[in-house]
Structure 1
Amino acid sequence: MTSPKTSSEHTDAPSSAGALVSTRQERELAVGTWLLLSADSRDRALEEWRTGGIALLRCGMRFTAVRMDASLIHAAAGSDAPKKVREFLAQVLHNGPVFADQHNRRYYALVPPSAADRPEWSKPRRGAECLARGSFLGVPRFDLSNPEDAFSYWVVPMDGPGDLCPALTVSQLVAYGHSRSADEGP
């Protein structure tokens, strides 16, 4: 009797739904390739990821980001424990990609470029801002997902190329964080 394949093993067999099953590494490679489409220089971005774990990518073509203070996210999540924050963000943002910058105490939710044109982001909000088209963002390498391994890491990794957070949901998260911060008081 053979053992069933685990989700990380490769198979070329179609799943029961007819889609090909892919490995985590294949998805990470596809995500990395997609992210690199926002680099001014693919080779330079690859070198930045290799040597420092972070590459400067331009917002506005494939994605932009909502930058949020950690205090806002922790208030919304009711915790600053990485595992609880990860679970909370994955749930409320429908597994949309979010990374953390531990040094600057910020979280970044990747959203469609059109989010920058939404009325709620026409000006910065307390503790949150949608980055404008043409802004540069230091994005961690697609396989960095452990807060103990890097100061910038994926809290909720990108599932696949173009899988972004819904902009309205990120706006609601910010409002909820503000509400929870006000409830907690000074």
Structure 2
Amino acid sequence: MDERARVTQWLEMAHPVPRQAVSEWANHGVALLPLGKRFDAIRVPARRIHAALGSDAPETVNAALLEWLHGPVIRDVRTGSGLYYVLIAPDAQWQGPEERLSKDTHQDTYLAVPRLGLRASPVTYWAVEPERPGQLCDPARLAALLSTAETLKATES
């Protein structure tokens, strides 16, 4: 089994019915996966990421996110300038102002996760694909990246 297949299998196992995730990827290009089992997500407005990186060019941003975060990031452009979802471990600490999405005490929280490989959705896609099963971002690295946006904003004032 190649690495992409292993990552896909790892992702599909986040779903309570893994075959349903496979079906959703095949039919829609994205699968709704519950958070809190394999990973959580930090929802970051695109303007914050773009300000920190000094660019909104997708190739530049994606390469910089890979270099900074060393883990998977989903891009969603359905609303306004869009959002980035930085995938982190469910037990990882996050103290930033950006919203952390995880399993709620009363109900599951789901994230639209694109299939790996060929981009199937024009609105939800991988900015940075996971390279191996279990690979997630370190929230401390995200905090460091976002702090550069605050520093730049302060120096421009």
* Structure 1 residues 81-120: aligned runs within 5 Å: 81-93=57-69, 95-104=70-79, 105-115=82-92, 118=93, 120=95
- Whether 1:48 and 2:19 are equivalent positions in the alignment is no
Instruction: State the TM-score, normalized to the length of structure 1.
Output: 0.73
Per-residue deviation, 1:178: 3.3
**Higher RCO (CA-CA < 8 Å; seq separation 6+):** 2
Q: In the alignment, is the contact (CA less than 8 A) between 2:12 and 2:19 conserved in 1? A: no
Q: Structure 1 segments of 4 or more deviating over 6 A? A: none
For residues 72 and 156 of structure 2, the distance between their equivalents in structure 1, rounded to whole angstroms, comes to 27
Per-residue deviation, 1:158: 0.4
Number of aligned positions between the proteins: 151
- Whether 1:59 and 2:29 are equivalent positions in the alignment is no
CA 1:70 to 1:113, structure 2 compared with 1: closer, same or farther past 3 Å? Answer: same
Counterpart for residue 135 of structure 1: 109
Per-residue deviation, 1:174: 2.6
- Whether 1:176 and 2:148 are equivalent positions in the alignment is yes
Residue identity opposite 1:137 in structure 2: L
Secondary structure, counterpart of 1:61 in structure 2: coil
Considering only CA atoms, is the larger Rg found in Structure 1 or Structure 2?
1
Per-residue deviation, 1:103: 1.5
**Structure 2: 5+ residue runs without aligned partners?**
none
For residues 154 and 74 of structure 2, the distance between their equivalents in structure 1, rounded to whole angstroms, comes to 25
For residues 101 and 152 of structure 2, the distance between their equivalents in structure 1, rounded to whole angstroms, comes to 24
Counterpart for residue 33 of structure 1: 9
Q: In the alignment, is the contact (CA less than 8 A) between 1:144 and 1:154 conserved in 2? A: no
Q: In the alignment, is the contact (CA less than 8 A) between 1:66 and 1:131 conserved in 2? A: yes
Secondary structure, counterpart of 2:91 in structure 1: helix
Per-residue deviation, 1:132: 2.2
User: Equivalent pairs: percent with the same residue?
Assistant: 36
Instruction: State the TM-score, normalized to the length of structure 2.
Output: 0.86
Residue identity opposite 2:6 in structure 1: A
CA 1:131 to 1:182, structure 2 compared with 1: closer, same or farther past 3 Å? Answer: farther
Residue identity opposite 2:140 in structure 1: L
Secondary structure, counterpart of 1:110 in structure 2: strand
